[in-house]
Amino acid sequence: MKLLVVEDEMQLADALSEILKRNMYSVDVAYDGNEGLDNALTGLYDGIILDIMLPGMNGIDILRTLRAAKVNTPVLLLTARSEIEDKINGLDCGADDYLTKPFITGELLARVRAMTRRKGEIVDDNSMGFNGLELHKNTCSISWKGNDVKLSLKEFQIMELLMANPKQILPKERIIEKIWGYESDVEYNNIEVYISFLRKKISAISAPVQIKTARGIGYSLE
Ligand code: CA
């Protein structure tokens, strides 16, 4: 899952990014409102953690602009205790939830899970699944009927993306944007390599799931 953190307090932004990365999210950080809006408008993210008081454009205006542009990425607003008005305003403008600073890591992660808990077949907070094949965040592995196999981080992220969009062709460009970032110079054959590793691992545990190739387009989980 790919998250965007928009927060101008650098220490807090970097701490957030660190915590989220340790929990298997890929994270982009924007330190001001304009950059945050530009990133958010790409629609590439599974969730946005958005501070309200920001240089450039404030969080509420970013949220309003996003919703007006029909970007429906879930948004978790970061608010200070004194910003009750902003909180109400934010929820009215289409925020999905808010988190009051200061917060503890457990609460942050729970709110992020709730915010992104919309797609795929969810097994529990740490796992998602497709046709009996389960993907486990805490162990970075896939399992089927008690057999499991470890995944690398990129393999995990690709599998998560496929599971969140089952039986749909995911274009290679989309996979690259989501996992490596839209400015990356990763080539299509890098993805092919990861897909072939994943296929071997899926067949190693005999799971009844296939990653099909849509020639010239991308991949789908079937
Ligand atoms: Ca701020």
Same fold, 2-117 and 127-221: no
**Domain locations along the chain:** 2-117, 127-221
Name residues whose C-beta falls within 8 Å of residue 103's C-beta, 6 or more positions apart in sequence.
Answer: none
- Give the pair of three-digit tokens for residue 125: 């907070």
Whole-number Å distance, alpha carbon 8 to ligand 1 midpoint, is: 5
Q: Specify the pTM.
A: 0.70
pLDDT tens, residue by residue, 11-55: 999 999 999 999 989 999 999 999 999 999 998 899 999 999 999
Distance (Å, whole) CA 62 – CA 71: 11
pLDDT tens, residue by residue, 64-99: 999 999 898 999 999 886 777 777 787 888 888 889
Homologous superfamily assigned to 2-117: Response regulator (3.40.50.2300)
Query: Are 76 and 95 spatial neighbours (Cβ–Cβ below 8 Å)?
Result: yes
Whole-number Å distance, alpha carbon 51 to ligand 1 midpoint, is: 6
Whole-number Å distance, alpha carbon 43 to ligand 1 midpoint, is: 23
- Report every protein residue that has its C-beta within 5 angstroms of ion ligand 1: 8, 51, 53
pLDDT of residue 119: 58
Query: Are 8 and 62 spatial neighbours (Cβ–Cβ below 8 Å)?
Result: no
Inform me whether the pLDDT recorded for 149 exceeds 80.
yes
Whole-number Å distance, alpha carbon 69 to ligand 1 midpoint, is: 24
Whole-number Å distance, alpha carbon 53 to ligand 1 midpoint, is: 4
Q: Is the peptide bond before 208 cis (omega within 30 degrees of 0)?
A: no
Whole-number Å distance, alpha carbon 129 to ligand 1 midpoint, is: 37
Top CATH class, 127-221: mainly alpha
